């Protein structure tokens, strides 16, 4: 049984940053105290002015196991997560094989976990044409919600849904109050990509904002019609901010995430042939990025998630630099916190903003808001200690991902994660893992024995 306290002048609580003592007992936060009582008998670790924050929650991670473990896998993904201060992930229903679109496939996913789960992990089910009758069995198994695509997903075994498929699924999800996560791009037949395949500008032009804007307009209409929790993943087009804001003002159950790479990079700075920057929707121009930041600060965008989607080098086509054919996906999980903080601090954002965007709001989407994502009495003691003033340079030697390909290579970032606690156990300290295989499977539902 763990019983100790973390003392710091910078504890990020729901009421702001303050000097506090976080008392941890038996895996939970027993209390958050302003001062140490004179009769306090637990061990106290005085961290000075290091930041104590809830562990980062990333609800958008492609772990790709079983079946494509050579792309990533639970072992390397969750190690990278611990090193980066992430304590809870939610795994996407692709690109594992099988994809998580049936209850049987979900069983295969759970069977792949023993010995490899170093953070807590929940799971999204997949919605594809023809699997309406698998929705309730997957809910019964404990998925936290469902993910659908409106354009080709990148792998043929996860086809995109039509509006008609969504019309069948959304009433069911609404009944269970589970979210539908949607990749919002509605492609047209028109081929816009012409000319030089190494050109980033050509790739950008091949996936225009209108694809996203049309898809988001459709999802807002369906969200209103079915009153089904609807979540737009990785928003890139700033042209959709207005309609999203309006839908939220009208009280629709609509939430939105964007990804670190849309906030950190800009199209103008991406060299031709550098396919480690390829993702869908694409990283857009500087003025678009500035508008995403304003929407995030204003609460129109709820939070930030990595969309970590790695692939082996041969699929990224780094040698040919062919943007049109390379795998679309950015590997970034380990740097979720420092990337966002590095960009946010330049824009006058606070540490409380970071905790809201990386801990508190993602917990709400995943249905974990009552127990994770905040430093508050009774919450799980998934905690991190980090130094926002210290910098480091991303190098291959510190990457815990399976593949050492990331657009953040050689970037100097602010924010060094020094300690990671999982349910009160110190599992990562000063670059070393001190506790592995301690993650819990997070299943939806009161009878599912949530970790
Ligand atoms: Zn994704």
- What percent of the chain stands above pLDDT 90? 94
Q: What is the pLDDT of residue 36?
A: 86
- Distance (angstroms) between ligand 1 centre and the Cα of 258 equals 11
Continuous H helices in 277-385: 286-297, 313-316, 336-346, 351-355, 361-365
Beta bridge partners of 391: 414
Span(s) in the chain for CATH 2.30.40.10: 3-52+380-438
Across 28-42, 47-61, 137-151, least confident range: 28-42
Span(s) in the chain for CATH 3.20.20.140: 56-365
Tens digit of pLDDT for each residue in 218-251? 999 999 999 999 999 999 999 999 999 999 999 9
Where does 3-52+380-438 sit in CATH, by number? 2.30.40.10
- Distance (angstroms) between ligand 1 centre and the Cα of 309 equals 6
pLDDT for residue 204 is more than 60? yes
pLDDT for residue 194 is more than 70? no
Integer Cα distance of 392 and 84 in angstroms:
12
Beta bridge partners of 381: none
pLDDT for residue 189 is more than 70? no
Q: Which CATH class is domain 56-365?
A: alpha beta
- Distance (angstroms) between ligand 1 centre and the Cα of 153 equals 9
- Distance (angstroms) between ligand 1 centre and the Cα of 21 equals 37
Residue that is written with structure tokens 């140490």 in the block: 36
- Distance (angstroms) between ligand 1 centre and the Cα of 15 equals 32
Residue that is written with structure tokens 């990386």 in the block: 358
- Distance (angstroms) between ligand 1 centre and the Cα of 302 equals 17
pTM: 0.97
Q: Starting from the edge strand earliest in sequence, which strands make up the sheet with 230-232, in order? A: 125-126, 146-149, 180-183, 230-232, 254-258, 303-304
- Distance (angstroms) between ligand 1 centre and the Cα of 386 equals 27
- Distance (angstroms) between ligand 1 centre and the Cα of 218 equals 19
- Distance (angstroms) between ligand 1 centre and the Cα of 168 equals 23
- Distance (angstroms) between ligand 1 centre and the Cα of 389 equals 31
Q: What is the pLDDT of residue 195?
A: 76
Higher pLDDT, 38 or 112: 112
Task: Return the exposure string of 418-445: e unless at least 16 CB atoms fall within 10 Å of the residue's CB, then b.
Answer: bbbbbbbebbbeeeeeeebebbbbbbbe
- Distance (angstroms) between ligand 1 centre and the Cα of 233 equals 8
- Distance (angstroms) between ligand 1 centre and the Cα of 382 equals 24
- Distance (angstroms) between ligand 1 centre and the Cα of 410 equals 24
């Amino acid at each position: 049984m763990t019983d100790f306290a973390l003392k710091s002048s910078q504890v990020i609580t729901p009421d702001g940053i303050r000097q506090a003592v976080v008392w941890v007992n038996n895996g939970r936060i027993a209390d958050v105290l302003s001062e140490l009582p004179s009769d306090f008998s637990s061990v106290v670790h005085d961290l000075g002015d290091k930041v104590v924050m809830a562990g980062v929650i990333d609800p958008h991670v492609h772990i790709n196991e079983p079946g494509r473990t050579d792309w990533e896998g639970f072992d390397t993904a969750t190690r990278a997560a611990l090193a980066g201060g992430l304590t809870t992930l939610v795994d996407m229903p692709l690109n594992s094989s099988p994809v998580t679109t049936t209850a049987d496939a979900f069983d295969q996913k759970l069977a792949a976990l023993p010995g490899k789960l170093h953070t807590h992990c929940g799971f999204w089910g997949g919605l594809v044409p023809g699997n309406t009758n698998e929705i309730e069995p997957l809910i019964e198994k404990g998925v936290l919600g469902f993910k659908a695509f409106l354009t080709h997903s990148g792998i043929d075994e996860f086809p995109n849904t039509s509006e008609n498929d969504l019309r069948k699924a959304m009433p069911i999800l609404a009944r269970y109050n589970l979210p539908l996560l949607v990749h919002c791009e509605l492609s047209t037949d028109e081929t816009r990509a012409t000319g030089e395949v190494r050109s980033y500008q050509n790739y950008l032009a091949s996936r225009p904002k209108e694809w996203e804007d049309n898809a988001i307009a459709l999802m807002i209409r369906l969200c209103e019609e079915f009153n089904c929790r609807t979540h737009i993943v990785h928003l890139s087009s700033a042209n959709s901010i207005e309609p999203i804001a309006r839908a939220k003002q009208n009280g629709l159950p609509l939430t939105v995430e964007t990804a670190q790479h849309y906030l950190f990079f800009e199209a103008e700075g991406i060299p031709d042939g550098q396919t480690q920057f390829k993702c869908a929707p694409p990283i857009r121009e500087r003025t678009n990025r500035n508008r995403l930041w304003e929407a995030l600060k204003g609460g129109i965008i709820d939070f930030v998630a990595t969309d970590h989607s790695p692939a082996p080098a041969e699929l990224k086509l780094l040698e040919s630099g062919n943007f049109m054919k390379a795998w679309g996906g950015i590997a970034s999980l380990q740097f979720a916190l420092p990337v966002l903080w590095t960009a946010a601090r330049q824009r006058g954002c606070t540490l409380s903003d970071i905790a809201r965007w990386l801990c508190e709001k993602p917990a709400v989407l995943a249905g974990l808001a009552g127990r994770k994502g905040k430093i508050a009495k009774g919450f799980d003691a998934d905690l991190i200690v980090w130094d926002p003033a210290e910098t480091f340079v991303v190098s291959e030697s510190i990457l815990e991902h399976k593949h050492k390909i990331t657009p953040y290579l050689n970037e100097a970032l602010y924010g060094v994660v020094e300690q990671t606690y999982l349910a009160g156990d110190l599992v990562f300290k000063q670059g070393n893992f001190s506790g592995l295989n301690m993650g819990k499977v997070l299943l939806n539902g009161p009878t599912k024995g949530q970790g």
